[in-house]
Amino acid sequence: MSVRRVKKILISQPQPADNKSPYYEIADKYHVEIQFRPFIKVERVSVKEFRQQRINIPDFTAIIFTSRTAVDNFFSLCEELRITIPETMKYFCISERVALYLQKYIVYRKRKIFFSSTGKMEGLSNALTKHAKEKFLLPVPDQHNGEITKFLDEKKIDYTESVMYRTVSNDFEEGEKLDCDMIIFFSPLGVNSLLKNFPNFKQGDMAIGCFGSTTAKAVRDAGLRLDCEAPLPGIPSMTAALELFLKENQKNHTQTK
């Protein structure tokens, strides 16, 4: 089935904080309307769920943060549990961006903070080796690929994994409709959310785009047609793929007039 002329695009992510997103440039260039509506959201575990893990946060002398989401959920739990983190706590962050985000919760210059310059755990290798005697806490989501824990195991680091948050479907309100010509997904969970919220969904001539091979697989496994995909050779980003798609879509519909 051919795709309709795309005039309204739904991006299944939160709206960018500023107006510098390349999506806005695409909207102006191709005269399309772009809406942002997250299909998934992060939810912190409850205090009851956390306590079932039998983890006592004050027992640890260091924390490994792999994302700003992990930072938010860790300090949210501490606040609800009324736990005060000592100034002696050491923080090991996967990137400088995550490390600087700690300023939201602690006095940055008075703490021992280490970060990877590469954005990967390997960049923390020397810092972890120098502080190998610390007792590390690793806040994680309920589903993760295990690369971080594998690295820590290889380094023989004394760490404890703690599930502090999960990704869940961001449910549509009753009566909320899919008023768009194209949907773009960024994770398999987003595809699952669509089918959960609209169990009778029929794609028809609506276009579907996605980023990532696992998301592409989820789209196809759901019996949906994938019309726009990234990354591919020469198409590194979702915005690059979308621009190519819109150029072709508008060309096709101009020719058929």
Tell me the one-letter amino acid at 59.
D
Look at residue 59 in the predicted model and tell me its pLDDT.
Answer: 97
Look at residue 17 in the predicted model and tell me its pLDDT.
Answer: 79
Angle at 28 between CA 27 and CA 30, to 5 degrees: 70
Q: Helix H segments across the chain?
A: 22-30, 47-51, 68-81, 96-101, 125-130, 147-154, 188-197, 213-221, 238-255
Look at residue 173 in the predicted model and tell me its pLDDT.
Answer: 84
Question: Collapsing DSSP states into helix, strand and coil, what is residue 31?
Answer: coil
Which residue matches tokens 């640890």?
Answer: 60
What are the Cα distances from residue 114, in Å, to 63, 68, 87?
10, 15, 15
* Cα–Cα nearest to 9, from 254, 253, 245: 245
Look at residue 2 in the predicted model and tell me its pLDDT.
Answer: 84
DSSP-derived secondary structure for 151-181: HHHHTT--EEEEEEEEEEE-PPPTT-----S
In the chain, domain spans: 8-39+170-255, 43-167
Peptide bond into 38 cis (omega under 30): no
How many Cβ atoms sit within 10 Å of the Cβ of residue 202?
7
Same fold, 8-39+170-255 and 43-167: yes
Tell which CATH classification among 3.40.50.300, 3.40.50.10090, 3.40.50.1260, 3.40.50.720 matches the domain 43-167.
3.40.50.10090
Tell me the one-letter amino acid at 204.
G
The CATH class given to the 8-39+170-255 domain equals alpha beta
Look at residue 257 in the predicted model and tell me its pLDDT.
Answer: 55
Q: How far apart are the first and last CA of the chain?
A: 18
Report field, pTM of the whole predicted structure over 0.85: no
Low-confidence ranges of the chain (pLDDT < 70): 256-257
